[in-house]
Structure 1
Amino acid sequence: MSEKIQTTLPHETVMQPQEKQAAFAVAGIFATRMLGLFMIFPVFALFAEQEFKNITGFQIGLAMGIYGLTQALLQIPYGMLSDKYGRKPLIMVGMLVFMFGSVVCALADSIEMMIVGRAIQGMGAVAAVLMATVADTVTEPFRLRAMSIVGMTIGLSFTLSLVAGPLLSELVGVRGIFWVIAALAGVGMVLVMFAVPKIEGQRFQREAEADPAQFKAVLSNPQLLRLDLGVFVLHAMLTAMFVVVPMLIRDNAGMDSMHHWELYLPVMLLSFVLMVPFIIQAESKGRMKQMFVGAIAALVIVQLAMLNFAHGFWSIFLIMLLFFTAFNLLEASLPSLVVKLSPADKKGTASGVYSSSQFFGAAIGGALGGYFYQFYGFDGVFVFTTVLGAVWLFVAISMTQPLPLSIASVSYDAILAPEEMDSLTEKLLSYDGVYEVVILSNEQRIYFKIDRKVINEIGLIDYIHKGLSRE
């Protein structure tokens, strides 16, 4: 029979000012990159058709999505280099590269140069370094809160980008948007220099960084592979859709591109409101699988509706509202599921593979969306996205109902014999709410998965420290 652990909270029950500063600074840097990558989505296809001669649909899609290819290939190497050369220097390098790519796009006089510029933007792949920075600067009990701040900022930045793109296009043109993006990269660098606290005792962060030695185990985990496929499909669908959605709004809703924000703004605001009850049902009521599979089914319905019913403002409005409600729900649920389903000591690697899958999805979705638009028009794109969504739905139906688990870790400075580690593992697993324990003696760190509704994480960490750490 399981025991209930008797724990008391240590004095530090709230995030310290420096931890809050680190979390909000990293969130701000993420925001500058997210705005920079996505502000062009609602306006680029229309701009490219008017600006460049003899352009093809494939080239439009490639320009929109190629940032994902370079991002996917380089984000894990960036994280590994930051372990050696420091977080801040690597973030600065990444932001400089991102700025340079934005300038190339602003000056591009051909679609080929634009594609190169977008690829360079993706080469500033600092996402993994930023997450490791959070882990370096925020203590274990508050990392989930800090990561949540970053995650919320990313979501809000994406929403803002879809509204800001058309507005800025009206004010400064699409080339001007790229100059604004370059300026945002400069703001990001200022945050790195002056807002991110000095990192003391930097180390490899297994909870936030990928470990190449774990790739085989993560890539052979069927539960995690489902999520990798899911985020690949989600971002492939998004990028493929935006190859044609701006033109569809122009042609079928009769809206000039400069006024598209009038559709996107209420759609995005309403979608966030509509998403909340489903998140509550998923996280608080234990209905994650039902909400998750239902949202994927909604995406498939959206693609079919785009094929048959997107013939006026209000029909497009309702279809896009359903799409972004489902999209936002899935975008919030997928990272949570990665945590719930990854082994306790492999969260960083699982998240790295997941993130790379997301960016590969954007690259493939853009290229294939452009290809199908070029040869088969709007309908070709939506048939492609319908098939993608149907494949994901088929795979997701067989997923198991995930438990509401979180991953945490604690360091210790005692020297433990193998039998002592086995005894400690058995002892910790006997407590209600503790589901997995991994002790890595070479790191002198314990990783565990817990149900925070049953056990207090801060108290558990305090208990382990008192039991193992030297005075």
Structure 2
Amino acid sequence: MSKLSPLERRAALTLAGVISLRLFGLFLVLPVFSVYARAMPDATPFLIGLALGVYGIGQMCLQIPLGMLSDRIGRKPAITLGLVVFAAGGLVAALSHTLSGIVLGRALQGMGAVAGAGTALAADLTADENRGKVMGIVGVSIGMSFLLALILGPPLEAVAGLPGLFGLTSLLSLVAIGMLWLLVPTPPRLGASHGARFGKVLRMLADSRLAVLNGSVFFLHALLTASFVGLPILLVDALHLPVARHWLLYLPVMTIAALAMGALLPRMRDETRAARMVVACVAVIGTSLAGMAVAGASALVLGVAATAFFAAFNLLEAALPTLVSRLAPPALRGAAMGAYSTSQFFGAFVGGAIGGIALGRYGPHGVFAMAAMLSLAWLPLAAWGARRVVAVDGVAPAA
């Protein structure tokens, strides 16, 4: 397997920094939001879930347009535009005194839909055989930002409150813009200014393998968002663990999960093995969600189940976009990653809504039970997709 070139190494590390800064701000609110939101005057379980998931609406609507825009005007200008909008949404949420106002700010944050263009930029700067490594580096950096956010979110909220956390997301977004232009290499233009037309995009997305990958990331982020509707409340109500001490669970869970991802990622070197690993990860996620649903007041059961969940989640976060970038035509890669990210954040919206409904009707354990049932719909899709990838991968491409 070839080593990363100096340009690829620089691209991977600097772009990972840009992406992680933005996501660190988003992740900061996850471990505290549902507990904090319960005290707001207009709070309902559904509105709590909506506030977590509404971010996905703007992402869902604008990922493909911004991905296509990045194919035309370049990745960096499109990403910059999205980061500015994202920063504005954080400011709106920080200045809001009601949960409804936070919903508005989170929706505006979601309109800064740069995930597809950012992933396409990573793909532009790497050779095909090294793309998995670069996505792995980005995935590890996201996992580390997730870990740090879960640990630092509660004490930062104690100091600055939830408005302070939202304000910090805006500041980090502006820092990310500086890093993007000063540190991240600029890829050569692929000549896609006339290639990313809507008809060609639709024909590309008709590929059943891409459709399965888009469906998979929908389920993945629906389950993640639903889980964070219930998890902080479960830790407080069932385990009687104060918010400021939630890091006692998150630190070992996320550390072990990151090590597991690092050990398994090299096994996903080609499309066939990656597709089979996806199926295994889906099974692990469904089982771990069921474990969290029946954990009761057992910290051990909850910890083991959460570790399995986040190990599989982190692995899929690296594997799925790598597969999309390999299967999409280079000139349409921004649009392909935009479609992928649309599915991802639509899943976040649906997961937040489902989690809020389940929380109101069945409590925090019911959130995980409903998420486990949702994973049963994902498993056959992933299995069928793996068979499609294997079947196509075994056929030599036409000359």
TM-score scaled to structure 1, two decimals?
Answer: 0.74
The residue that corresponds to 1:174 in the other structure is: 162
Assess if the C-alpha contact under 8 Å between 1:289 and 1:401 holds in 2: no
Distance in 1 separating the partners of 2:188 and 2:338: 24
Structure with more of its chain in helix, by fraction: 2
The residue that corresponds to 1:60 in the other structure is: 48
Q: CA RMSD in A?
A: 3.3
Q: Which moved more, 1:273-282 or 1:68-77?
A: 273-282
- Asked if residue 96 in structure 1 is aligned to residue 84 in structure 2, the reply is yes
Identity of paired residues, percent?
38
Assess if the C-alpha contact under 8 Å between 1:234 and 1:361 holds in 2: yes
Distance in 2 separating the partners of 1:396 and 1:104: 39
* Cα shift at 1:189: 1.9
Assess if the C-alpha contact under 8 Å between 1:304 and 1:386 holds in 2: yes
Stretches of structure 2 lacking an aligned partner (at least 5 in a row): none
> How do 1:352-367 residues align onto structure 2 when only pairs under 5 Å count?
352-367=338-353
Stretches of structure 1 lacking an aligned partner (at least 5 in a row): 1-8, 407-432, 439-471
The residue that corresponds to 2:5 in the other structure is: 15
> How do 1:92-171 residues align onto structure 2 when only pairs under 5 Å count?
92-134=80-122, 146-171=134-159
* Cα shift at 1:306: 2.4
* Cα shift at 1:63: 0.8
Gap change, CA 1:147 and 1:246, over 3 Å in 2: closer
Task: Name the amino acid aligned to 2:294.
Answer: N
The residue that corresponds to 2:17 in the other structure is: 28
2:97 match: secondary structure = coil
Distance in 2 separating the partners of 1:182 and 1:99: 4
- Asked if residue 242 in structure 1 is aligned to residue 216 in structure 2, the reply is no
Distance in 2 separating the partners of 1:14 and 1:276: 17
The residue that corresponds to 1:71 in the other structure is: 59
The residue that corresponds to 2:213 in the other structure is: 227
Task: Name the amino acid aligned to 2:167.
Answer: W
Gap change, CA 1:331 and 1:110, over 3 Å in 2: same
1:255 match: secondary structure = coil
Gap change, CA 1:22 and 1:276, over 3 Å in 2: closer
Gap change, CA 1:62 and 1:92, over 3 Å in 2: same
Assess if the C-alpha contact under 8 Å between 2:15 and 2:138 holds in 1: yes
TM-score scaled to structure 2, two decimals?
Answer: 0.86
* Cα shift at 1:239: 0.3
Assess if the C-alpha contact under 8 Å between 1:288 and 1:401 holds in 2: no
Gap change, CA 1:91 and 1:158, over 3 Å in 2: same
**Structure with greater Cα Rg:** 1
- Asked if residue 264 in structure 1 is aligned to residue 250 in structure 2, the reply is yes
Gap change, CA 1:220 and 1:75, over 3 Å in 2: closer
Question: Residue deviations 1:85-125, cap 9 Å, x none?
Answer: 45443333222211111111111111111001111111111
Give the one of 436, 443, 467 matched to 2:397: 436
Give the one of 231, 235, 240 matched to 1:254: 240
Gap change, CA 1:434 and 1:284, over 3 Å in 2: closer
Assess if the C-alpha contact under 8 Å between 2:71 and 2:335 holds in 1: no
1:351 match: secondary structure = helix
- Asked if residue 311 in structure 1 is aligned to residue 297 in structure 2, the reply is yes
- Asked if residue 331 in structure 1 is aligned to residue 322 in structure 2, the reply is no
| Relative contact order higher in (CA < 8 Å, ≥ 6 apart) | 2
2:397 match: secondary structure = strand
Distance in 2 separating the partners of 1:127 and 1:157: 16
Give the one of 149, 157, 174 matched to 1:186: 174
> How do 1:348-427 residues align onto structure 2 when only pairs under 5 Å count?
348-398=334-384, 399-400=386-387, 402=389
* Cα shift at 1:347: 5.1
The count of aligned residue pairs is 397
